[in-house]
């Protein structure tokens, strides 16, 4: 066989179950999905209108440089258009960074657990993945800095983290950046930035201008903007760094409908504000309900909550799924007994809490 031997060590990413699949498998008609951190409000009406207007031109190749979206983002963030690289979701920006920076045998540092794509994409590059355990469900940035060796090429930091929802504050991240040599790419994944911003959450774009550091900040239109199905995200870096990522980028990697939808969504601050308000208010409701049930959870700066069921989480998952509610069972991440649910509409969250309460009553505690 011609396939590269190191690919035997790569486990493909396993997404949350789609609604239609659960309906088919279980014969259910009413199914809700709280598994993939999607926006329950949908997306900006302006994005939908922009898509409708662009549909007649889908016989044409898209703008390979995302010109109009690039200009709008640069104006919104106070940066140059040359600071950006666009991807088929921010996942692709992760892959582009690895393509541009990492050779076989190089070391890549990630937390454990964290977003699985960092390890998967690094292993595809035949890099050596160094995993640093979380400390009290947070990134242990001191330990990650200590793990850097002469062979380290990249460090991935999800801020906030997925699956825990925790975050590194401004002081913690500042201290970490100061310890990083220029030869190490620091990749800051801010997929949940719109939910996390404010307070002591770091404004990481200040790092990209530092010529003594190598920093890429990635954000997405999948979460707060509600465009997960269109797959569009972006990276921000110094122009010379963005240039290298663009050199390894596939031509026409972001489709035309995604570009016009993202441009329209970017202008709809009201939709993002409503999305954040929903998440914040519903999280507090769910926190209270979990406390009343005597169930532990990790306070989250995102649109999802990591929950310690104190029970066999696979049985919890199956019970909840049988009632038409899709969540994530977290033992594949090494989080035995944990589930993760994202914030849905109020009635969806109420439904989850009801079936979760039933599951707790029917499955014995392992504490």
Three state DSSP letters for 322-341:
HCCEECEECHHHCCCCEEEE
Separation of alpha carbons 164 and 146, rounded Å: 22
324 in the same domain as 225: no
φ and ψ at residue 98, rounded to 5 degrees: -70, -40
Q: What pTM does this model have?
A: 0.96
Burial 339-364 (b: 16+ CB within 10 A, else e): bbbbbbeeebbebbbebbeebbeebe
225 in the same domain as 197: yes
280 in the same domain as 239: no
For the record, the structure tokens of 135 come out as: 């400390």
**β-pairing, 128-133 with 32-33?**
unpaired
144 in the same domain as 105: yes
Last residue in a domain, options 220, 244, 268: 268
Q: Is residue 319 part of a domain?
A: yes
201 in the same domain as 95: yes
CATH number, residue 14: 3.90.1150.10
Q: Is residue 367 part of a domain?
A: no
Q: Is residue 37 part of a domain?
A: no
Q: Is residue 40 part of a domain?
A: no
- Spacing of C-alpha 76 from chain mean position: 22
The tens-digit pLDDT sequence of the chain (367 residues) is: 788 889 888 888 888 888 999 999 889 999 999 999 999 999 999 999 999 999 999 999 999 999 999 999 999 999 999 999 999 999 999 999 999 999 999 999 999 999 999 999 999 999 999 999 999 999 999 999 999 999 999 999 999 999 999 999 999 999 999 999 999 999 999 999 999 999 999 999 999 999 999 999 999 999 999 999 999 999 999 999 999 999 999 999 999 999 999 999 999 999 999 999 999 999 999 999 999 999 999 999 999 999 999 999 999 999 999 999 999 999 999 999 999 999 999 999 999 999 999 999 999 887 6
Q: Is residue 67 part of a domain?
A: yes
Residue range(s) defining the domain that contains residue 308: 5-30+270-362
Separation of alpha carbons 321 and 166, rounded Å: 26
CA dihedral 73, 76, 80, 81 (to 10 degrees): 20
Three-state secondary structure call for residue 165: coil
């Amino acid at each position: 066989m011609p396939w590269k031997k190191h690919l035997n060590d790569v486990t493909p990413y396993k997404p949350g179950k789609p609604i239609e699949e659960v309906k088919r498998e279980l014969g259910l008609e009413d199914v809700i999905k709280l598994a993939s951190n999607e926006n329950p409000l949908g997306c900006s009406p302006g994005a939908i209108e922009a898509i409708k207007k662009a549909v007649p031109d889908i016989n044409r190749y898209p703008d390979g440089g995302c010109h109009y979206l690039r200009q709008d983002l640069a104006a919104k963030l106070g940066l140059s258009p040359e600071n950006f690289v666009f991807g088929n979701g921010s996942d692709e920006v992760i892959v582009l960074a690895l393509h541009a920076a990492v050779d076989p045998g190089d070391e890549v540092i990630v937390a454990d657990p964290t977003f699985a794509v960092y390890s998967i994409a690094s292993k595809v590059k035949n890099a050596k993945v160094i995993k640093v355990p979380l400390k009290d469900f947070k990134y242990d940035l001191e330990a990650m800095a200590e793990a850097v060796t002469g062979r380290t090429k990249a460090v991935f930091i999800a801020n906030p983290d997925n699956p825990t929802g925790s975050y590194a504050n401004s002081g913690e991240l500042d201290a970490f950046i100061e310890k990083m040599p220029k030869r190490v790419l620091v990749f800051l994944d801010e997929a949940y930035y719109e939910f996390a911003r404010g307070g002591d959450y770091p404004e990481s774009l200040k790092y990209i201008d530092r010529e003594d550091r190598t920093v890429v900040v990635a954000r997405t239109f999948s979460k707060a903007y509600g465009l997960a199905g269109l797959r569009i995200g972006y990276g921000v870096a110094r122009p010379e760094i963005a240039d290298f990522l663009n050199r390894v980028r596939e031509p026409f990697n972001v489709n035309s409908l995604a570009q016009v939808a993202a441009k329209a969504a970017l202008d709809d601050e009201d939709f993002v504000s409503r999305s954040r308000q929903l998440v914040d208010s519903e999280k507090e409701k769910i926190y209270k309900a979990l406390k009343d049930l005597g169930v532990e959870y990790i306070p989250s700066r995102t649109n999802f909550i990591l929950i310690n069921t104190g029970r066999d989480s696979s049985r919890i998952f199956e019970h909840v799924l049988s009632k038409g509610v899709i969540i994530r069972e977290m033992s594949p991440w090494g989080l035995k007994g944990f589930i993760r649910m994202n914030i849905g509409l109020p009635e969806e969250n109420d439904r989850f809490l009801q079936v979760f309460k039933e599951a707790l009553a029917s499955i014995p505690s392992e504490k």
